[in-house]
Homo-oligomer: A and B are copies of this chain.
Amino acid sequence: MATSDPRTAAALVIGNELLTGKIQDANVAVLGKTLFDLGILLRRVIVCPDEVETIARDLDELRRSHDYVFTSGGVGPTHDDVTIDAVAAAFGRRRVREPALEAILRRHFGDRLTEAHLRMAEVPEGAELVVDERTRWPTVLVGNVFVLPGVPKIFRRKLAAVRRRLGGGKPFVSRAVTTGSDEGELAELLLRLVREHPAVAIGSYPRWSDDGYRLTVTFDGRQEGEVEAAVGALLAALPADQIVEQGSEL
């Protein structure tokens, strides 16, 4: 399935509630960090409304241009849960009822089971069910598209459950140096580091807090030696009293 090196991923985050500001997304950061630790680059995220045509069009484009795609949201039993329809449309497949999912629903809901519940047993034809002991409900995988729920707690649990399907790559390494230096004063030095360490992605993030102004410089790469060399070059060039903190997190 995966072909790029490093492997690439995209996310399609589905839900009117995010676009109207009712809810702040929490899944993209968790996904990005999880993939980063697995050596997979999250390259693109699209947030779109609960519309079959929009989701299907975006999904089709994302699945063709990335090794993995993760959808978040729209998998419940109500009218605004249209992700499965859209995944089916993106792959040109029918929706079919999956007996294994139907059995779980019947066990869980018993006499309270409705036709709407049974919609949740439908998947695009040919979908794979990723089973893991940590989740009662298998994760639907269609081609290279993992269909995950939007509720953050369940999203995280499902992501952990499919993690083993994504393993095997060389993880990224990240280091961070925080200074009191001004970004404008450091810009020229950072540009030199970027040129001298092409295998390292260098980022520069200012923030203003109660402690005053701080600038954190991050170094990401797959070769730990190269990342450490770039960090060393920054530390060597900075006045010692300007170095506030060193670590692995922004």
Contact = CB atoms under 8 A, between A and B. Distances in A.
A46 B49 contact: no
Contact of A194 (B29, B77, B79, B113): B79
Interface in A107-142: 109, 112-117, 119-120
A184 interface: yes
B33 A29 contact: no
Interface in A3-32: 16-26, 28-32
A165 to B, nearest CB: 19
Q: By DSSP majority rule, is chain A's interface helix, strand, loop, or mixed?
A: mixed
Given A79-B190, A204-B76, A29 B18 contact: yes
Contact of A206 (B18, B117, B151): B151
Nearest to A58: B44
A178 interface: no
A101 interface: no
Interface string A177-220: 00000111111101100100000011111111000000000101
